[in-house]
Protein backbone atom coordinates (compact mmCIF):
# COMPACT_ATOMS: atom_id res chain seq x y z
CA UNK A 1 0.00 0.00 0.00
CA UNK A 2 2.86 2.44 0.70
CA UNK A 3 4.09 2.05 -2.87
CA UNK A 4 0.68 3.14 -4.18
CA UNK A 5 0.20 5.95 -1.64
CA UNK A 6 1.95 8.55 -3.78
CA UNK A 7 0.29 7.47 -7.02
CA UNK A 8 -3.13 9.16 -6.60
CA UNK A 9 -4.90 5.81 -6.75
CA UNK A 10 -8.30 5.35 -5.13
CA UNK A 11 -9.30 1.88 -3.93
CA UNK A 12 -12.85 0.82 -4.75
CA UNK A 13 -14.46 -1.27 -2.00
CA UNK A 14 -16.86 -4.05 -2.95
CA UNK A 15 -20.33 -2.86 -1.90
CA UNK A 16 -23.80 -4.34 -1.56
CA UNK A 17 -24.73 -2.55 -4.81
CA UNK A 18 -21.94 -4.40 -6.58
CA UNK A 19 -23.02 -7.73 -5.09
CA UNK A 20 -26.63 -7.21 -6.17
CA UNK A 21 -25.83 -6.15 -9.74
CA UNK A 22 -25.81 -8.44 -12.76
CA UNK A 23 -23.29 -7.93 -15.50
CA UNK A 24 -25.18 -6.52 -18.51
CA UNK A 25 -22.95 -8.41 -20.94
CA UNK A 26 -21.87 -11.71 -19.35
CA UNK A 27 -18.37 -13.06 -19.86
CA UNK A 28 -17.99 -16.35 -21.69
CA UNK A 29 -15.28 -17.95 -19.56
CA UNK A 30 -17.26 -17.83 -16.30
CA UNK A 31 -14.51 -16.70 -13.90
CA UNK A 32 -16.41 -15.26 -10.89
CA UNK A 33 -13.57 -12.92 -9.90
CA UNK A 34 -13.46 -11.41 -13.41
CA UNK A 35 -17.23 -11.03 -13.20
CA UNK A 36 -16.92 -9.11 -9.91
CA UNK A 37 -14.30 -6.75 -11.35
CA UNK A 38 -16.44 -6.03 -14.40
CA UNK A 39 -19.60 -5.54 -12.30
CA UNK A 40 -17.75 -2.96 -10.20
CA UNK A 41 -16.73 -1.11 -13.37
CA UNK A 42 -20.27 -1.29 -14.71
CA UNK A 43 -21.93 0.00 -11.51
CA UNK A 44 -19.38 2.80 -11.06
CA UNK A 45 -19.37 3.85 -14.72
CA UNK A 46 -15.68 2.99 -15.02
CA UNK A 47 -13.45 0.78 -17.19
CA UNK A 48 -11.40 -2.14 -15.92
CA UNK A 49 -7.76 -1.62 -16.87
CA UNK A 50 -6.49 -5.08 -17.84
CA UNK A 51 -4.08 -7.01 -20.04
CA UNK A 52 -6.17 -10.18 -19.75
CA UNK A 53 -6.98 -11.18 -23.34
CA UNK A 54 -10.13 -12.98 -22.12
CA UNK A 55 -11.55 -9.65 -20.92
CA UNK A 56 -10.37 -7.15 -23.52
CA UNK A 57 -13.37 -7.66 -25.80
CA UNK A 58 -15.76 -6.72 -22.98
CA UNK A 59 -17.23 -3.18 -23.15
CA UNK A 60 -16.18 -2.44 -19.54
CA UNK A 61 -12.53 -3.44 -20.10
CA UNK A 62 -9.69 -1.44 -21.61
CA UNK A 63 -6.02 -2.21 -22.28
CA UNK A 64 -3.39 0.06 -20.71
CA UNK A 65 -1.55 2.16 -23.25
Give Rg (Cα) of the chain: 13
Backbone angles phi, psi at 16, to 5 degrees: -65, -35
List CB contacts of 34: < 8 A, sequence separation 6 or more.
27, 52, 54, 55
3-state secondary structure of 36: helix
Sign of the Cα pseudo-torsion (19, 10, 35, 61, in order): positive
9-57 per-position pLDDT tens digit: 788 999 999 999 999 999 988 899 999 999 999 999 999 999 999 999 9
pLDDT for residue 3 is more than 80: no
List CB contacts of 51: < 8 A, sequence separation 6 or more.
63, 64
How confident is the model at residue 1, as a pLDDT? 61
Amino acid sequence: MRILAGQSIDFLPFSAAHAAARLLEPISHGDPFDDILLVQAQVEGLKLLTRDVKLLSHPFAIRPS
